[in-house]
A and B are shown apart, each in its own frame.
Chain A
Amino acid sequence: DGGITQSPKYLFRKEGQNVTLSCEQNLNHDAMYWYRQDPGQGLRLIYYSQIVNDFQKGDIAEGYSVSREKKESFPLTVTSAQKNPTAFYLCASRQGLAQSNEQFFGPGTRLTVL
């Protein structure tokens, strides 16, 4: 089946540890995105990538890092510099840059920092 997968679904880490969230898509989409969602709030953009080996900061990139070595993969690392890392993280992808193209979302990873 075609789609976006994120793993794991639930992740627990100790404060001060870096953690990497996986995002893979087999839709052959060019663009990929990482969002963060806090309780009762909408999605906020962390990073996005329009092509392989290129990525741009979103609205709340501080404390996060990404890589885009392959078209299918866009992992997000939550570093110890992120002050409030506990949140629900969503990865999305989109084909091309046309206005009319919708984004497809993964199931999300809920990160809890203890």
Chain B
Amino acid sequence: DAKTTQPPSMDCAEGRAANLPCNHSTISGNEYVYWYRQIHSQGPQYIIHGLKNNETNEMASLIITEDRKSSTLILPHATLRDTAVYYCIVRVAERNTGNQFYFGTGTSLTVIP
């Protein structure tokens, strides 16, 4: 399984951009990169996903390097409500595992007033 490596914690000033890095050096060609976040005691919330190209939606932008070995999630204007644990996940696509997600420990982002 392709694994991901994320820093355990990060701080970001309110109103500034939060850039969360993720390494996935063993990613295979057909695996997607997903980002979720989890606010304490709630279910994970989908943020964005991508394969090769950079992606943007109303929540965030996803920048994937050309070799696909790493990516960065960008929250353009962080707010206090963005304080959460952010998970970078590479999708496993094996028939006998039902395309499950493997969640690591993520990055705990704290947005500071």
Shortest C-beta distance, A58 to chain B (Å), equals 7
Shortest C-beta distance, A65 to chain B (Å), equals 17
**Chain B interface residue count, Cβ-Cβ cutoff 8 angstroms:** 27
B98 touches A50 (CB 8 A): yes
Interface of chain A residues 74 through 110 with chain B (CB within 8 A): 88, 90, 92, 94, 97-108, 110
Does A64 interact with chain B (Cβ within 8 Å)?
Answer: no
Interface of chain A residues 35 through 59 with chain B (CB within 8 A): 35, 40-45, 48-50, 56, 58
Shortest C-beta distance, B50 to chain A (Å), equals 10
B41 touches A97 (CB 8 A): no
Q: For the complex, give the distance between the alpha carbons of A48 and B99 in Å.
A: 10
Q: How large is the interface on A (under 10, 10 to 19, 20 to 34, 35 or more residues)?
A: 20 to 34
Does B21 interact with chain A (Cβ within 8 Å)?
Answer: no
Q: For the complex, give the distance between the alpha carbons of A56 and B101 in Å.
A: 15
Shortest C-beta distance, B101 to chain A (Å), equals 6
Shortest C-beta distance, B35 to chain A (Å), equals 10
Q: For the complex, give the distance between the alpha carbons of A92 and B34 in Å.
A: 15
Q: For the complex, give the distance between the alpha carbons of A107 and B40 in Å.
A: 11
Which residues of chain A come closer than 8 Å to B100, judged between CB atoms?
33, 45, 48, 58
Choose, from B62-70, B73-81, B103-111, the stretch at the interface: B103-111
A56 touches B96 (CB 8 A): yes
Q: For the complex, give the distance between the alpha carbons of A108 and B45 in Å.
A: 12
Which residues of chain A come closer than 8 Å to B42, judged between CB atoms?
107-108
A41 touches B34 (CB 8 A): no
Residues of B with Cβ closer than 8 Å to A? 30-32, 34, 36, 41-46, 49, 51, 87, 91, 93, 96-106
Residues of A with Cβ closer than 8 Å to B? 4, 6, 31, 33, 35, 40-45, 48-50, 56, 58, 88, 90, 92, 94, 97-108, 110
Q: Known contacts A4-B43, A43-B103, A56-B98; can you find 15 more A-B pairs with CB under 8 A?
A: A31-B99, A42-B103, A43-B44, A48-B98, A48-B100, A49-B98, A56-B96, A56-B97, A99-B32, A99-B91, A100-B51, A106-B43, A107-B42, A108-B41, A108-B43
